[in-house]
Amino acid sequence: MSNLNDLDVTQQQLARALRNQLRATETVDPATSARLALLRQQALSTPRRFGRTWLSSIDGLAIAAVLMVLGIVLPQQLPQFSSGQAGDSTHQETVEVLTEEPEPEFYQDLDMLQWLAHESDARV
Amino acid sequence: MPPPQTIATALADTAEHSCSAPLSLGAFLASSEKRAYRRALLATRHTDDALDIVQDAMMQLSRRYAQRPSGEWPMLFARIVTNGIRDWHRRQTLRRKLFFWLPAEPEDDNDPAPFEQVADPHAAEGLQHLANGQLLQQLQTSLAQLPARQREAFELRIWEGLDVHDTAVAMGCSQGSVKTHLSRALHRLRADLQGYWP
């Protein structure tokens, strides 16, 4: 019986008496007993996890290796990853051109620009 | 394989396994399953739910901890059963919140109260037996009314017979908390069972 010395004397007496009463209840009817025995047999026949810690470390190493390969190879294979700043600046310029309000002189010279475009197309 | 009487004698007190010779997992489960079932039945009041909890506990112990020293099995098994009971209570609480309009699930009519079937071969006849029956019914009611942590501390420490350290590990709290919960539980049980104790 486990040590009950951390309890005072009256609590020890009560605890022991209650334990005896509860242990006396640990009987079940034959049908339940048979079901418990069946469940026990099923539990004992289930495959067990051997060396789970070893497998976990291998899994972790594999995941780390894949992540490392992705981190090294991908930036070299895909140029937009390696030249991220240049890509960002180009994108920024495009946005600026599209959102910029044109000056009034631009509309005044529109005919001239159309003529120049027509001339260049004709030469080609 | 030793005869059943030898096993029953050797496993009379689960918590003392650590001091005895190594046991097979089957013998350990055979010695512990009825106590686990009683604990689960006390918490759930449903035979099938109690059997489910015991089955899950057996499966987990067999699958995950069969290779651990047999001295650790009582604590591990008690912890798994405790967690199973706790999960059952959580599911019931969630179910009540989600399906609050449904009537409460009735208790298992086919199954008597957890301590009703007590067949203590050492119990005296007559009035003493009647008194024991009444005591057990009151004990069952009082245990069911204890706060969850106090009930866990009492069941693990007193019923299962784990020491303070193993109880703390099983409950996931400090040893001081175990002592506090147990002291409060015993204080309350003493008050509830006042008519049965000197």
Residue with tokens 């991908």: A74
Question: Are both A29 and A56 inside the same structural domain?
Answer: no
Identify whether A1 is part of a domain.
Answer: no
Q: How many CB atoms lie within 10 A of CB A18?
A: 23
Pairwise CB contact (< 8 Å): A43 & B58: yes
Q: How confident is the model over B120-128, as a mean pLDDT?
A: 47
Question: Are both A78 and A91 inside the same structural domain?
Answer: no
Identify whether A34 is part of a domain.
Answer: yes
**Helix spans in A1-124 (H):** 9-24, 30-45, 52-77, 79-82, 84-99, 104-108, 110-123
Question: Are both A89 and A120 inside the same structural domain?
Answer: yes
Given pLDDT bands bounded at 50, 70 and 90, which one contains residue A73? Answer: confident
Q: How far is A38 from chain B (nearest CA, A)?
A: 10
Domains in chain A, number: 3
Question: Are both A89 and A112 inside the same structural domain?
Answer: yes
Identify whether A2 is part of a domain.
Answer: no
- Residue A112's domain spans which residues? 85-124
Is residue B99 over pLDDT 70? yes
Is residue A51 over pLDDT 60? no
Q: Which residues in chain A have Cβ-Cβ distances shorter than 8 Å to B30? A: 37, 40
Pairwise CB contact (< 8 Å): A39 & B33: yes
* Domains of chain B with bracketed CATH: 11-102 (1.10.1740), 126-198 (1.10.10.10)
Q: Indicate if ipTM > 0.95.
A: no
- Give residue B14's pLDDT: 47
